[in-house]
Amino acid sequence: MQKVGRLHPITIAIRDIAAIFGRMGFGVVLGPELETEYYNFDALNVPADHPARDMWDTFWVKSDEDERLVLRTHTSPMQIRSLEKTGAPTRIIVPGKVFRNEATDATHEAQFYQLEGLAIDVNITLADLKGTLDRFSKEFFGTEAKVRFRPSYFPFTEPSVEVDVWFPARERWLEVMGAGMVHPKVLENAGVDSRKYQGFAFGLGVERFAMIKYGIPDIRLFHAGDIRFDFAFDKSQTSDV
């Protein structure tokens, strides 16, 4: 019998997430997977001696250009590229593949998807970030979901937070994204007047969200190419079956 194909759960998750942020006024922007060192690190205020630049964490790509190239380690470079193009105010999300030179296990892959969010305007506060993420998690996971912020550090946000989502089915908090208020240096690097504008940004792990929602136990299943995977996740939770 002919088997009918279906969308990959990562595609479904990205579409669901984009629809929710779309209702909150965020447009979708895509960016290059092969990035320059400038956009991946320097423009984001990541100093030259930061461990993330180490060859053990980043896939560097040989290039004939003067500038060094990397497989982007996060979707954050698109904060700069997009602001350079459109200026402020802006409200975008950026889904896409990212790459890290790290060992894989049940929750870590060397290639995975992130989804960046960026909102820049006058008078945006951390409360707007929390309200936006709270609404998003309730729409994505259900009304019982809630978010909590823990203090953290990213060179491109001040203050910075790790965001946990309360997952009622497992009765525990799960770390799903990094976020914060965009650092004034990042705004200036992108040509935006940081005295007039401010805003928030976040970067979430798409597979982590899909794993929680669809009950997928191991991140490596997403990319293994084993069609039995189709039977291994909870399709009642998807918007597209």
Q: Where along the sequence are the contacts to ligand YSA (CB under 6 A)?
A: 74, 76, 100, 102, 108-109, 112, 114, 116, 154, 156-157, 175-180, 201-205, 207-208, 219
Select 2 or 220, whichever has its Cβ closest to ligand YSA: 220
HEC secondary structure over 16-77: HHHHHHHHCCCEECCCCCEEEHHHHCHHHCCCCCCHHHCCCCCCEECCCCCCCEEECCCCCH
Distance in angstroms (rounded) separating the CA atoms of residues 68 and 144 = 46
As measured in angstroms, the least distance from the Cβ of 5 to ligand YSA is: 25
As measured in angstroms, the least distance from the Cβ of 195 to ligand YSA is: 20
* Gyration radius of the chain's alpha carbons: 18
Select 211 or 241, whichever has its Cβ closest to ligand YSA: 211
* Cα 69 → chain centroid: 21
Retrieve residue 64's tokens. Answer: 């004939």
Select 62 or 164, whichever has its Cβ closest to ligand YSA: 164
HSE at residue 111, side-chain half, CA atoms within 13 A, is 10
As measured in angstroms, the least distance from the Cβ of 56 to ligand YSA is: 13
DSSP strand pairing (69-71 vs 34-36): antiparallel
As measured in angstroms, the least distance from the Cβ of 29 to ligand YSA is: 14
As measured in angstroms, the least distance from the Cβ of 63 to ligand YSA is: 23
Select 4 or 52, whichever has its Cβ closest to ligand YSA: 52
Select 69 or 202, whichever has its Cβ closest to ligand YSA: 202
Select 16 or 109, whichever has its Cβ closest to ligand YSA: 109
**Nearest residue to ligand YSA, by Cβ distance, number only:** 205
Residue 122 exposed, middle or buried by CB count within 10 Å (0-12, 13-18, 19+): exposed
As measured in angstroms, the least distance from the Cβ of 1 to ligand YSA is: 36
Who's near 210: CB < 8 A, 6+ residues apart? 9, 10, 12, 13, 216, 222
